[in-house]
Amino acid sequence: MKLYEYQAKEIFKKLGLPVPKSKLVTRLEEVEEAYRSVGPKVMIKAQVLVGGRGKAGGIKPANSLEEAKKIASSLLHSNLKGLEVKRLLFEEQLDIAREYYMAVVNDRERACPLAMVSLKGGMDIEEVAKHYPDQVATLPIDILYGLQDFQARQVAFQIGLPSQDLNAFTKLLKGLYDVYRTYDAELTEINPLVVTAQGELKASDGRLNVDDNSLFRHPDVAAWQEPGIDAEFKAKKGNAYVELDGNIGLMCTGAGMTMAIMDTIAAFGGKPADFMDVGWG
């Protein structure tokens, strides 16, 4: 289950990770209250489950109430990458000195969690790994021992993290791993992790994908579920359908054929948007 940014940050805050001050807006009547509680300088962020919101015009700054109202009016209920914007997150603007990247993801090859960090925050990590491989460090984590202090410092040293950020960075990386373990995550990511001009580290953006099979252990997360494509297909069509992160639709007969074609697509650099088996029933 993919969480919206505001939901991920709610969990981050609950587990002690630093996040910017923010307020959720679902109606235009709420804009003034949200602006006054977060402003005077705010970022207005469309809450949709897609990447690249900034490039698509879904994240905009506002420096006055009038500007905030205008932006909110244009974004709320608009279409962003094929999805309706039903919520906006009003968030304090940060005085940015530096931006980093950190994540904890499932490493299926090693069958363990994998910590990833980079000095290049605010960019697609795959592009960073391609063009700046020396500025990305990874660390397999043994779940029996968890992420140790020396390991967090080790990956920070690998990317050449400035010494003044070391303690806060390693503490935050360990906190992100705690989120991953506590919520049975498949992925948890902060991009960018902002260092403010005052030297504070804050999660400027956040992603959290929770394993669907663990939702019975997390009623707070399960309560956020929305009827989506997956549920709609299963209910109306009875097909085996799994939504993925890519952009190539896939409809096949038989799970084996589907898996083989997914592997072929990946081998040529593509990303399937779904796993759909229509070869039964």
The token pair that represents 55 in the structure block: 């490039």
Distance (Å, rounded) from C-alpha 99 to C-alpha 228?
33
Nearest to 90 by CA among 64, 118, 68: 68
For residue range 90-135, what is the model confidence (pLDDT) as tens digits?
Answer: 999 999 999 999 999 999 999 999 999 999 988 888 888 888 888 8
Share of the chain above pLDDT 70, in %: 94
pLDDT digits over 232-256, tens only?
A: 545 555 567 777 878 898 888 888 8
Domains, the chain, in order of start with CATH, read: 21-92 (3.30.1490.20), 96-217 (3.30.470.20), 227-277 (no CATH)
**Residue 52: per-residue pLDDT:** 86
> Closest by alpha carbon to 11, among 225, 222, 226, 220?
220
The tens digit of pLDDT for each residue in 12-26 reads: 999 999 999 999 999
Q: Which residue has the tokens 């509680």?
A: 37
Distant-in-sequence, close-in-space partners of 52: CB < 8 Å, separation ≥ 6:
81
How far is it, in rounded angstroms, from Cα 211 to Cα 118?
A: 25
* Both structure tokens of 231: 């549920």
The whole-number pLDDT of residue 129 equals 84
Q: Could you confirm whether 99 is annotated as catalytic?
A: no
Give the SS3 label for residue 245: coil
Q: Residues 4, 35, 100, 101: which is the catalytic one?
A: 101
Alpha-carbon gap, residue 235 to 216, rounded angstroms? 20
Contacts of 53 (CB under 8 A, 6+ apart): 45, 46, 59, 80
DSSP 216: G
User: Which one of 35, 180, 189, 241 is the catalytic residue?
Assistant: 189
Residue 228 has pLDDT above 70, yes or no: no
pLDDT of residue 229 exceeding 60: no
Q: What is the mean pLDDT of the chain?
A: 91
pTM: 0.83
Does the structure show a pLDDT above 60 at 184? Answer: yes
Residue 101: active-site member: yes
